[in-house]
Every structure is written in C-alpha cells, then in structure tokens.
Chain A
Amino acid sequence: MRPSRDDFDTFVVARSAPLLRTAYLLTHDHALAEDLLQTALAKAWFAWRRIDGDPEPYVRKILVNTYATWWRRKWHGERPSDELPETAGTARSEAESVASATDLWRAMETLPPRQRAVIVLRFFEDLSEAQTAELLGCSVGTVKSQQSKALAKLRIDPTLSLHDGTPEDLR
C-alpha cells in the first residue's frame, strides 16, 4: 500500500524529537538543527512513496548526508578555534567535570563534519561501524580512520572506558 500524507505526518510527529536531537549534535546549534531536520524531512517527502519499510533510517541518512554536504557551504563560520585543554586524572570535582564536558563539547566543534558525524552515530546513536559506513555511504575502514582521528582530536583514549556499551571494535 502506498504511504500517504497521513503516514508522513504521523512519522514526523513521532520521530521528529530523536531526529532533532541528532541534528543538534551534528550542528551544535538549535536553529540550524531545526533547519537541517526540516530540510531532511522535506527531501524525504518528495521520495516518500518510494520508501519501503521503516522510513526512519532513510530520513536519518538524508539528515546526516545533508549535514555533511551543506556544512561547508552554509555553516562554515561556526567553528571555534579553541584547543581542548589537557585534563589529567580520573577523580575530578564536580566543577572539573562540568568544565571537562564543556571543553569536550567545544572540542567537537573543531571536528570536520564527517568526523563529527561518525562520533554522533557511533557514540550517541550506538550504530556499529558497518551501520555507520552504510549510512554515510563510505567504507568501514573510513569510519575507523575517521573515528580514530576524531577521538585523537578530542583527546579521548578509547581504552579508558568503564562503560559496558563500549563498541566491540574498541575493546
């Protein structure tokens, strides 16, 4: 049965919030995230009748790739140039933790768009390397190298994880 406008609107209501969160993590800007999401949804609308099955992966793919391809043209001016200060030790005060989180967030803004996308897809969406590669339209090797470069820039040691959900390929 061909999807209808009602299907589309239902999808938008149900899935806008998580998609908007992803868009925000990519753009680091609430207004740009809204713009990115609406652009992706509008693109999806014109292909709606050709989508088989769950449309969310398709829309998410449009969203991420729109971000990766438009970033250079529309949003190039948003990169702060701050270097992430080195932080030492694992036992930190609350103030230090807040500062570290802020620094990490700002450091993400220095990442090239594809590296930022890989970080969001891998560590927020919890996608596997293969899923991330499929979504970005690149090889698993590229995802690995982009992830490795991004983590190095964020000064994250992938071996310093206490989280059970650490991706299998980082163990």
Chain B
Amino acid sequence: MNDLNELRRVLDDRAASVDDHLAPAQPAAVHRRIAAIRRRRRTAAAGALAAAVVVAGSAVVLPRLGGDEGPEPTSLVGVDVPDTMDSLGFTYELVDTVSGKGSRAVLDLPASDQSRLVSWATSGDDDRVTLSGDLVVDPWSTDAADFSDFTLVPAGDGGQVVIEAASGTPGIAVYRATGERPAGYTRDGITFREEFAGGHLLAAVVGEPGQGEIDLPATADGPGVAVKLFCIGGPEAADTVLDLGGRPAITAGGGCADRTPLDPAAHGGSDFPTRVGEDVSVRVEIRSGGSAVVDDDMVVAVGIYSLDAYAPAPRGPAPTTLEHDGRVWRLVHVADSSRAEQVAELAPEGRGEILAVMTAGTGERLIDVTFGDRPGVRISAGESASLQQVVSAGEAVRIRQVGGKPLGDVRVSFYERVR
C-alpha cells in the first residue's frame, strides 16, 4: 500500500523532468499551430469555391476568414455580425465568416465535435434567401436575412451550406457553442434544460462515471412525457434497457456514444402517453451480452420532460409547440384531412417561414408526400409517422395514397417560428 506523499513525490519528480527550455520559442510554435488551423479553414473554403464553380458555372465565392486575433466585431455585406447567437437557451459565439460574390455564398464546414449555427445576411433590399447544400436536408427559403435566423449543424456533422439571395450579395457567419447553458439541471458538463417544446423538465440525473444503472423517480403532470437518455464512454455494442413506471418500455441497441451531446433534450428519445399523477419513474440499465456493463468511463444520463400534448397519432390534438432545427415553433393552423383520397394544404400567408408537419396513420398503405416543389417521398406510415419541412407561405403540402384509395388518418399542421 502506498501513501499520498509517495504520489505527490512521483508527480513532482516527473513534472521536474519536463524540459522547459523551449518556453521562449513557444509563441512561435503556437502561432504556427494557429496558422495551420487557418490554412485548414482556407483549404476547406477553397474546396467550396471549386465545387461551386464546377457545379454552378457562374458562381464565385470569396472566403473571408478571421484576422490575427480572435474574430473581431465585424460587418459583412454591410450588415453587423452579432458576436453571439442563442438557440434553445444555448449560447453560440462567432468563429468565422464567409462573404459571397454575386447572388451566392458557399460555406464548406468541416465536421466538428461541437454544435454550430450557420446564419446569413444579404446586401440587397429584398431579404429573401434560399438555403441548400448537403447540410440542408431539403432546401428552404426565408425572409430573415440580417443574421436573425440560422440553421443548426449538430456536433459531428460537416458539409456544405449554400445561400442564394433574391437580390444583393449574401454573407455567412458561423457560430460555435460556448460553455454558457440555459437554466435546468446541469452536472458533469451535461445540461437538461428546463424548457422543452412547450413542456418542462420533471426530473433528470447524470450518473456517476461507471454507474450503469439509473433510477429516476417522477410523476406525470400532463398528457405525455418525453424520456431523453444517453450513454457515453461505454461499449459501442451495448443495449439500453428502459423501464417506465415499473414496466418494461423499450430496449434499444446502438451502444454508447463517444461524445456528450450539447443539448440532450433535442436528441431523439421516446414519448409516452400519460395520465396526470401516473408514476413515470424511469429505470435505465446498460447491458452488453446479457449482463450489466462495468466501465469506469461510462456515464449515463436521463431526463424526463412533461409534454403539453401527446400526439404521435394524427387523431389526437397537434402539439402547440415544436422544436425544429434549433428553433421553437408555435402552432398556427391544423388541417385535418382524414379519409380523403388526396390532400393539398397550403401554408398560411403572412407569417414568414412556416414549419409544415405531416402526421399520418395509414397502416401498410404507401403514401406520397410532397412539400412545395421539392422531390416527394414515398412512405408507409404504419400506425403513425411524421414528416417536417420548413416551407414558404402559400407552398402546398400534398399527400396522395399510391393506388388512389382513401388515405386513412392524416393531419397537416403549420407552425410559425417563435422569435
């Protein structure tokens, strides 16, 4: 058995062995490192330029990257760029800008361990811009082109965002998540925020490192709960076994992640219908090969949110509030088109960008769903399936059953962004 004196002595001796004669040269070495980071960014932007020219022919993109100091307060295409931006209570700081030429700007964003926001502005009088690129699942348009809107790029993702302006030249600003977090439950750098999609946090816990079983008592106070849970640092092949209210609820594969999500509330999870007062205590166990996982590095975290509506099925009431792409949306219109052969609902006018949500329960029948003039998707909705897309006022959501028979249960809901 050793003692603490021995430990201190070992640490001191080893530390003293470090050769620090390079200290005077460190600034130069660090600035070389900083220059290398900038070169990587320029290379990425130059790649975007080449791709844009090849694909678009006439497009030209001029990347403008940060100066020798960290990003300065700046103006881009004549519009002041905010130093920080907020998404769902999390603060993001400005890290990069790209100015376009002509009516187009292209951002090539390398994958990162951190969540980022991409925002934009234009120099023109008409603020309308269209977003596309492989980081934008389906192109969408907005009239907010003064760095007041953004799209969220989750940690781990990388790719291209293209901004095309109706008039003038667009510029793009990139923001990175900071350590500032919203109110809620925070432990070990993990935050379950207090508010989620119109609901609120009932209970949350972040387990001790190595703790593979979590018990979290809670009582429902509304029509549904959302259980958000994740595991990091454990085996990649582990199963997550979830009991709700003392009953088996879900067993999911997929294993543990290698990074902590910035905002666990926004990542997946499962919704359950509840009655007020019902026991919704959660028990989570991480298992592998039929036995409990033992791993000192593994951390399991669980949050239980009360929902203001439980509505995965189209017959139920539509949720009054949703989250999509790092933003909050409020219900403005519901079109119930059940039992029709086909549906064509128009997004309401005069509300800027609109989030259209199609919820259907069509059994095994196939349906075609089209948002505006984007490519359609063909799905089998089963008991309940949902698709979301940001659309413009007046754009149509079209649903048609393959074969021309009645659709079954279908609901189209429209939401406006809460600013």
Contacts and interface: CB of A to CB of B under 8 A. Distances in A.
Contact of B11 (A8, A25, A160): A25
A145 to B, nearest CB: 5
Interface of B: 1-20, 22-24, 26-27, 29-30, 33-34, 37, 66, 68-72, 93, 95, 113, 179, 187-189, 208-210, 233, 258-259, 296-297
B29 A38 contact: yes
B82 to A, nearest CB: 14
Given A37-B26, A123-B11, 7 more contacts: A12-B27, A20-B20, A88-B1, A120-B11, A123-B8, A137-B189, A149-B296
Interface in A1-20: 4-5, 8-9, 12-13, 16-17, 20
Interface in A37-57: 37-39, 41-42, 45-50
A163 B11 contact: no
Given A16-B26, A17-B20, A161 B3 contact: yes
A7 to B, nearest CB: 11
B3 A138 contact: no
Contacts of B187: 138-139, 142
Contact of A160 (B1, B12, B68): B1
A139 B26 contact: no
A131 interface: no
A72 B105 CA distance: 36
Nearest to A102: B10
Contact of A156 (B3, B189, B208, B259): B3
B5 A30 contact: no
B11 A156 contact: no
26 contacts: A5-B68, A12-B23, A12-B30, A16-B22, A25-B14, A30-B19, A37-B26, A41-B33, A42-B37, A46-B71, A72-B233, A72-B297, A104-B2, A105-B14, A108-B10, A113-B297, A124-B11, A137-B179, A137-B189, A145-B209, A155-B1, A156-B2, A157-B1, A160-B4, A163-B5, A163-B8
A23 to B, nearest CB: 9
Given A12-B26, A12-B27, A124-B11, A154 B2 contact: yes
Nearest to B27: A9
Interface residues of A, number: 67
Contact of A42 (B10, B15, B30): B30
B70 A46 contact: yes
A94 B18 CA distance: 23
Contacts of B27: 8-9, 12-13
Contacts of B16: 21
A170 interface: yes
B66 A162 contact: no
Given A5-B69, A12-B26, A16-B20, A24 B14 contact: yes
A42 B14 contact: no
A146 B209 contact: yes
Given A41-B33, A42-B33, A47-B70, A162 B15 contact: no
A114 interface: yes
Contact of B26 (A13, A30, A87): A13
B209 A142 contact: yes
A63 interface: no
Nearest to A40: B30
Nearest to B37: A42
Nearest to B297: A112
Given A38-B30, A158-B4, A163-B5, A20 B18 contact: yes
B83 to A, nearest CB: 9
Nearest to A41: B30
A101 B233 contact: no
Contacts of A161: 3-5
B20 A138 contact: no
Nearest to B9: A101
Contacts of B23: 12-13, 16-17, 20
B312 to A, nearest CB: 35
Nearest to A49: B70
A47 to B, nearest CB: 6
Nearest to A21: B15
A120 to B, nearest CB: 7
A115 interface: yes
Contacts of B11: 25, 119-120, 123-124
A128 interface: no
Contacts of A119: 7, 11
Contact of A86 (B1, B7, B24, B208): B1
Nearest to B11: A124
Contacts of A156: 1-4, 6-7
A133 B165 CA distance: 48
A33 B233 CA distance: 23
